[in-house]
Amino acid sequence: MSRYETMFIMKPDLSDEQYDSLVEKFKGILEGQQAEVTNIHRMGRRRLAYEVKKLREGYYVLINYNGAPAATDELERNFRISDDVIRYLIIKEDE
């Protein structure tokens, strides 16, 4: 199992309950793929460095986890089909 760090940015116009449910959804996807979520850091609403999809702000979340590459593939697939995620980045950490 490898260590991964994933940061994703959600639309700023969602409610707190919607943010929580999306974070839990993505955490559930990882746990469904037998990945061990070690940390979830909700950074909150922040200004973007540049405009993305006509948005100037986003809600940032950082997730650290240990898992197989299949877990990251499934997570990335769900990021792509979610209309509420505007950007994401998955990084494999060095051993």
Of the candidates 92, 72, 88, 90, the residue with the CA atom closest to the CA atom of residue 8: 88
pTM to 2 decimals? 0.89
Q: How far is CA 81 from CA 23, 76, 78, in A?
A: 15, 9, 5
**Each residue's pLDDT tens digit, 53-89:** 899 999 999 999 999 999 999 999 999 999 999 999 9
DSSP 95: -
Domain ranges in the chain are 2-92
CATH number of 2-92: 3.30.70.60
Whole-number Å distance between alpha carbons of 66 and 27:
12
